[in-house]
C-alpha cells in the first residue's frame, strides 16, 4: 500500500475480513502507521520476498455517530 496513514486505514477497512496482510509504504508527511519510508522500499520488498518479515495483527474499532440523537456507538472487533 502506497500512501499515508489515511490510505492505510482505508485499505485496512477494505481487506480486513479477507485477512490480507498490508505493507504500508509512507508517501505522506508523518507516517505514524506506515512502517516503510520511500528510500526503504527496495529492502522492504526484498525482505518480504525472502520471507524475512513479521505480520502483526492490530485491533480494529468501529465508530458510528448519530448526530440527530447525540449518540456515538463505539465497538471493537
Q: 15-40 pLDDT, tens per residue?
A: 888 888 999 999 877 778 888 999 99
> Three-state DSSP class for 32?
coil
**CB of 62 within 8 A of CB of 77?**
yes
**pTM across the whole model:** 0.68
Beta strand pairing call for 2-3 and 25-26: parallel
Active site residues: 5
**CB of 73 within 8 A of CB of 63?**
yes
Going by pLDDT thresholds of 50, 70 and 90, the confidence category of residue 77 is low
Amino acid at each position: 500500500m502506497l500512501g499515508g496513514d489515511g490510505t492505510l486505514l482505508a485499505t485496512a477497512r477494505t481487506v480486513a475480513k479477507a485477512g490480507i496482510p498490508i505493507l504500508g509504504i509512507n508517501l505522506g508527511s508523518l507516517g505514524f502507521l506506515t512502517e516503510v519510508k520511500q528510500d526503504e522500499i527496495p529492502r522492504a520488498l526484498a525482505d518480504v520476498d525472502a520471507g524475512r518479515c513479521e505480520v502483526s495483527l492490530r485491533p480494529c474499532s468501529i465508530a458510528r455517530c448519530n448526530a440527530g440523537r447525540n449518540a456515538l456507538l463505539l465497538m471493537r472487533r
